Every structure is written in structure tokens, then in C-alpha cells.
Amino acid sequence: MPEQIIRPIFVVGAPRSGTNLFYRTFARHSDLAWISNITKKFPSSLWLTRIIMLFREDHRPTEANNVWQKFAGNEDLSLGRDDVTAAARSYLRSVIKNNLQIFNKPRFINKCPGNSVRIDFLKEIFPDAIFIHIIRDGRAAAYSIMRSRLGHSGAYWSVKPPGWQDLLKLPMVDACALQWKLTVESALQSAEKLPPAQYMEVRYENLVDRPAEVMEQVGEKCGLVWQKDFLKEITTGMENRNFKWETEMQDADKNTLNKLLGDFLKHLGYRI
């Protein structure tokens, strides 16, 4: 069974940016272990997890927020290098080792949008980690965040980047747009300190347009080889849903998104 944590893969990105689509697909690689809906229940206890598995085997990849937020504060869920303690290092490494053992795989992957504001923290604990940053047109992401918030009675939802409390005072459209922007900015700032071999950006638009090609490229970055027929099978049927913000939002709200995000989107290479 695996005894070492080798180049763990962390998928990050603002909420509703396609991170889940990417994660569910990439996690099907035969060399990858991940925290499941079952193994997250007692993530640092291998024997308790083994007991649960006597009764349940329906594993599915999960974000495992309970794992990654364990050492974050109540108000701001971001973490940096200075937040790394011996307890945090021991706990998180044990969680990954447990899942490598449970699934008997050589490599580990996880997707958690909240880790977009914890990249420096994770890099300190896992020095050879690879970070895959999924970036989507912020207007499409903001619209999807807004719909998720409406499904949670309008409450703030998902990633809490530094400064998120200020967003509570804003209209929902503005808050969702700036939540996306602050999250992406935080990830990009951390990425500037990463060696090129440990960071890769994936555009949602490319992922849904050329999924097999993108998965192969990411696999090459991570040192993972895909079986081509299997890759074609699992990437068939992906759909680009970026159009919804344009067809379903009111003009005033679309103008707000363009005003708040226009310059940053242009910087990222998007058309306004």
C-alpha cells in the first residue's frame, strides 16, 4: 500500500466555475484516490472508516470542506503559510495517507473551491503539490452563484475570500460578481509564487469545448497517462453553459456584471 504522498493534486477555482465537472471527470483516472462521501466522516481515523465501509461502499468524490476548513477561523476561511501548525500538518497528511491506503492508489486528488484562498497553506504542508486552477467567465460564474444563493434563501454561499464580509452589504448581483473576482485574484496571487511545474490554469470554455484534449494536457502536467478510449468515453457530452447569464438575466444586471468585472475579464483574456 502507498506509504508516501507524491505530488497531490488540488483543484481550485471560484465557485460555479466548472471545478466539479472537472473533478468528477479527472477523479476517474485509475491512479487517483480522493476523499469520498464516506471517508470524509472520520477522515483522520483509518479504523473507523474501515468499520463504516463494512456497511457502505457507495463512494463518490467530495469536496470535504470539513477537512480543509478544520484549521480556519470563523470569519475568514483563508489560510497562509504562517497558519501551518504541527497539528494541521499531521492531520492533513494523515487524511491523504488514509485515502491512499483505503483506495490503494499511488496519487491523490481533491477539489474544494475554498482551497483557492488556502494555496499557500497547502503548499507549505505538501511542498510538491500540483494546483489546477479552473477559470470561467466571471459573468457566467456570478450568475450561477446568484442562483445557488437563491436556493439557500439568499444567504452568502461558498468561498469566503479575504474581504468577503464587505460583500454582505451589497446587492446580490454585485456581491456574487465580486466574490468570483476576489476568489480568482487570491488564487492568482498565490500562483505567482508557485514553480511552473506545480500550477496550471484550465479555462472552463476549453474544457467543455475540447474535454479529452484538456484532460490529456492536465494528465501530462500531473504525470498521469490516460487510456484514450476510456478518456473519450468519460468526456463525451460535456456542455457549455456560459450562455445562460446572457439569455436569462435582466439587462440592468448584465450591465452591472460588465461594469464590475470588465477590466479584470479583459486582463484574463475574455471579450466584453
Instruction: List the one residue out of 134, 137, 142 whose CA is nearest residue 170.
Output: 142
102-122 tens-digit pLDDT: 999 999 999 999 999 999 999
CATH number at residue 50: 3.40.50.300
For residue 75, what pLDDT band results from cuts at 50, 70 and 90? confident
161-180 tens-digit pLDDT: 999 999 999 999 999 999 99
Non-local (6+) Cβ contacts of 39 within 8 A are: 49, 59, 98, 99, 102
Distance (Å, whole) CA 112 – CA 65 = 7
86 CB burial (10 A radius; 0-12, 13-18, 19+):
exposed
User: Do the strands 9-12 and 107-111 form a parallel or antiparallel pair, or are they unpaired?
Assistant: parallel
Query: 136 versus 49: which is more confidently predicted?
Result: 136
Quote the pTM value: 0.95
Q: Does 3 reside within a domain? A: no
Distance (Å, whole) CA 75 – CA 83 = 15
pLDDT at 47: 78
Residue 81 contacts residue 119 (beta carbons within 8 Å)? no
Q: Does 170 reside within a domain? A: yes
For residue 74, what pLDDT band results from cuts at 50, 70 and 90? low
Q: Does 160 reside within a domain? A: yes
Q: Does 2 reside within a domain? A: no
Task: Pull the grid cell for residue 42.
Answer: 472520520
Q: How many CB atoms are located within 10 Å of the residue 193 CB?
A: 12
Place of cell 479555462: 203
pLDDT at 178: 98
What percentage of the chain exceeds 70 in pLDDT? 99
Q: How many domains does the chain have?
A: 1
Instruction: List the one residue out of 153, 40, 13, 143 whose CA is nearest residue 99.
Output: 40
Average pLDDT over residues 185-206: 98
Q: At what angle do helices 211-222 and 19-26 cross, to 10 degrees?
A: 70
Residue 31 in this model has a pLDDT that exceeds 90:
yes
Q: Does 1 reside within a domain? A: no
CA atoms within 13 A on the CB side of 48: 9
pLDDT at 51: 87
Non-local (6+) Cβ contacts of 259 within 8 A are: none
Q: Tell me which residue range forms the domain holding 14.
A: 9-268
